Amino acid sequence: EVQLVQSGAEVKKAGESLKISCTISGYSFANRWIGWVRQMPGKGLDWMGIIYPGNSDTRYNPFFQGQVTISADISVSTAYLQWSSLRASDTAMYYCARLVGPQQLPWYFDLWGRGTLVTVSS
């Protein structure tokens, strides 16, 4: 069974750093794009960025470029999303999701994790 298991909810203060994870099982982690999607409270979905673990090719939404870092560790089949200095506006649910499509041009998300809720107090 294919699973995307995300790390647990986090409560942080503004200015702190954070790294959340998404651990994959049931398929070859290296050969499929993994993405991160933000959902702020009561709002829609924001496409943040994606990574191809096999070669660490990473594509960011310019809105999030420089604000977060997406990475992957093939040895533990895990993708990460990290912040060096959180803001209150980072409070949101963060989903990891697997993409369908070739390495050259990823397509849509076919499987989603259950989300990691990040709460940042000011």
Task: Write out the residues near other proteins by the rule CB under 8 A.
Answer: 37, 44-47, 49-50, 59-63, 95, 97, 100-101, 105-115
Nearer to other proteins, 40 or 76 (CB): 40
Are residues 93 and 39 in contact, defined by beta-carbon separation less than 8 angstroms? yes
Which amino acid is residue 19, in one-letter code? Answer: K
Question: How near is the Cβ of 94 to other proteins at its closest, in Å?
Answer: 11
Question: How near is the Cβ of 58 to other proteins at its closest, in Å?
Answer: 10
Question: How near is the Cβ of 108 to other proteins at its closest, in Å?
Answer: 4
Distance linking the first and last C-alpha atoms of the chain: 40
Nearer to other proteins, 14 or 39 (CB): 39
Q: Tokens for 37, please give them.
A: 């999607």
Cα angle value 93/98/103 (rounded, 5°):
135
Nearer to other proteins, 42 or 75 (CB): 42
Nearer to other proteins, 65 or 89 (CB): 65
Query: 3-class DSSP state for residue 74?
Result: helix
Question: How near is the Cβ of 121 to other proteins at its closest, in Å?
Answer: 23
In angstroms, rounded to a whole number, what is the distance separating the alpha carbons of residues 77 and 8?
17
